[in-house]
Structure 1
Amino acid sequence: MYVGLKMLKSFQTVTPKTPVLQAQKLLDQADLWMLLVTDGDRLVGYLRSEDISAALPSVMTTLDKHEALYLVSKLTVDKIMRRDITTVPPELEIEAAADIMCKKNLAGLAVTDARGALVGYISRTVMLEVFVEEMGFRDGGSRLVVEVEDRRGVLHELSGIVLEHGVSIISTGTFYHDGQRMVVLRLACDDASPIAAAIQQRGYRLMCAADFVAEWIRQ
């Protein structure tokens, strides 16, 4: 999956000359955390609610009321916008974009092409939707969590067991917990107990929430 296939293409932007009060209204009405600032189709920065909140008191406290109100009405986005924006290309793998957001604690990423033109936006909500889709949650079925050795052929062996029972695999996911690899299988069946028993007979250990209860309590 690539960023360009899941990015938002319809979202609110402002220009450097947009009045700050208008930008604030847009943020409030749409409950946004930031607005991307464009000059033509080129991305030049972004503006957050806290940037506006930080700018207005300084204006209000240094001038009398009438002067302050006049200047606030004339204050434009280019005077307070941020230019240190993180961007990604549409061809970037979506997990790489998620890693950038995680490491930098970002709520979203602007997507730009090779010319620097803004072509999309990807948010935490989009990332969560991708995760839910990848794990096959909305497709129903049954879920098995298998503790495995981190070696070649494990997925082949597990999928072979599922195939022997004539069941389709909706999704697979692999995770680490305390250095141990876990494989999550979502299967297209209502009752996965025969498959679970067969997996255990092959020497694998099945995991469930109860296996982690004591750990959660300690924490």
Structure 2
Amino acid sequence: MLVKDWMNTGVMSIDADDSIQRAIQLQKTHGASILPVMEKGKLVGIITDRDIKRASAPDVMPIDIDEAIYLTTKIKARQVMTPHPFTVSFEQTVEEAAEMLLKNKISGAPVVDNNGHIVGIINRSDILRTMMCCTGSDRMGYQIAFSVKDLPGSTREIINLVRNRKGRVATILSTSKHVKTPGYRNVFLRIHDIDPEEIPPLLEEIKEKARLLYIVDFFLNKREIFDKNESHLEHF
């Protein structure tokens, strides 16, 4: 999943000598939460919602609304921008972009090509949209989570159980973090095209090979969280 396939390409920029009133207008008109600030064709900073709010705060501007509006025409973008912003390469993965945003506690960043030209913006909403698409949440179905020994082929055994019951595994997510038992891995399957009548026996079969964590039925908006010792199947 490369950033260039998921970023927002409708980039609106502002010149460093433009007023913050123009920045406010661009944000309102185009819904741009991040505005690259340019000077002589080069990126020198960004203006975010937070920068605008900080510049418009009472301790910066007088409370009188008319005077405040007047001053927004006099304050330049370079005076309120965040200089030297973090950027993301358009050929980096979305996971790398997400890691950078989290590490630096920022909501988004400009995306640049191999020549350093801005080609887009990626923010947390874009990353969430990517995650939703890649987990198959655009279709109704089931999500089954289980913990299994972290050995070659252990997940494939569970997938074969699903396929034997005519289900289709749309996505597979797996992690060894936040796992209570050392040497185990948590696996999350998104399942489509399976007869609801097949779910209870499928869960019983999975219990023989793994520890069930939960199941979510997105058709009926029902979910069952299984305890450590025994699975409760009465809702299914």
- The correspondence for 1:184, drawn from 182, 188, 205, is 188
- The AA in structure 1 aligned to 2:200 is S
Q: What's the CA shift for 1:79? A: 2.9
Following superposition of structure 1 onto structure 2, how do residues 43-62 of structure 1 map, counting pairs within 5 Å? 43-55=43-55
Answer whether contact 2:148 2:155 (CA < 8 A) is retained. no
**Structure with the higher helix share, 1 or 2:** 1
1:187, 1:69 → 2: CA distance?
A: 55
**Where in structure 1 are there 5+ consecutive unaligned residues?**
214-219
2:69, 2:135 → 1: CA distance?
A: 52
Aligned to 2:225: 210
Answer whether contact 2:179 2:186 (CA < 8 A) is retained. no
2:126, 2:132 → 1: CA distance?
A: 10
Following superposition of structure 1 onto structure 2, how do residues 1-219 of structure 1 map, counting pairs within 5 Å? 1-30=1-30, 32-39=32-39, 42-55=42-55, 72-175=72-175, 176-180=177-181, 181-188=185-192, 189-191=194-196, 192-201=199-208, 203-208=209-214, 209-211=224-226
> Could you say if the C-alpha distance between residues 193 and 211 of structure 1 is closer, same or farther in structure 2, counting changes exceeding 3 Å?
closer
* Secondary structure, counterpart of 1:17 in structure 2: coil
* Secondary structure, counterpart of 1:177 in structure 2: coil
- The AA in structure 2 aligned to 1:204 is A
Q: What's the CA shift for 1:31? A: 5.1
Q: What's the CA shift for 1:99? A: 1.3
- The AA in structure 2 aligned to 1:23 is A
Answer whether contact 2:7 2:126 (CA < 8 A) is retained. yes
- The AA in structure 2 aligned to 1:156 is R
Q: What's the CA shift for 1:94? A: 0.9
Answer whether contact 1:20 1:52 (CA < 8 A) is retained. yes
User: Scaled by the length of structure 1, what TM-score is found?
Assistant: 0.80
Root-mean-square deviation (CA), in Å? 2.8
User: Scaled by the length of structure 2, what TM-score is found?
Assistant: 0.75
Q: What's the CA shift for 1:115? A: 1.8
Aligned to 1:217: none
> Could you say if the C-alpha distance between residues 22 and 152 of structure 1 is closer, same or farther in structure 2, counting changes exceeding 3 Å?
same
> Could you say if the C-alpha distance between residues 212 and 24 of structure 1 is closer, same or farther in structure 2, counting changes exceeding 3 Å?
farther
Q: What's the CA shift for 1:55? A: 4.3
Answer whether contact 1:142 1:190 (CA < 8 A) is retained. no
Instruction: Tell me the alpha carbon deviations over residues 27-81 of structure 1, each in whole angstroms, 9 at most, x when there is no partner.
Output: 34555543221346542210134434444667757xxx98x98765333212332
Q: What's the CA shift for 1:183? A: 0.8
